[in-house]
Amino acid sequence: MPGVAMRVIREFKTFAVRGNVVDLAVGVVIGAAFGKIVSSLVANVISPPLGLLVGGVDLSNLRVTLRDAAGQTPAVTLDYGLFLQSVFDFVIVAFAIFLVVRAINGLKRREAEAPSAPPAPSREEVLLTEIRDALREPRGPADSGGP
């Protein structure tokens, strides 16, 4: 049994330190933090002025009462203001992700368009170049007179 446990631990370690898993974990944590920031932006910065524009109403309190409260039974409401805030959250997050993906794609395009280094000459090309250069060199006094 200890051998099986060690093998499982080793496999888990290999899985956990794999680059994609670590990148994914970092992305999830950053995404969660970004989601909180966007929610705060919508609730505390965007919604109040928008509420003033539509008549001084707090958007989160917009609702339609389908059935009033009766005794111990709470009212049944359709909270469309909270839904609107969630839609704003989504639009802002989606736009931010779009901008990030667009920037990354632009960088990838620039890398692809960058001229690549010419391939190294083959062994045959190197030998032929050496032969050509050797033939161009003067060989001494007998070579300079001609026939």
Entry pTM = 0.53
Domain residue spans in the chain?
2-67+74-136
Convert the pLDDT of each residue in 27-83 to its tens digit. 889 888 988 888 888 888 888 888 888 777 777 788 999 989 888 999 999 999 889
The proportion of the chain whose per-residue pLDDT surpasses 70, expressed as a percent, equals 93
- Listed in sequence order, the DSSP H helices in the chain are 2-16, 19-41, 47-53, 80-113, 123-136, 141-145
pLDDT of residue 76: 92
- Name 76's bridge partners: 67
CATH of range 2-67+74-136; options 3.40.50.20, 1.10.1200.120, 3.90.1150.10, 3.30.450.20: 1.10.1200.120
Region 100-117 average pLDDT: 83
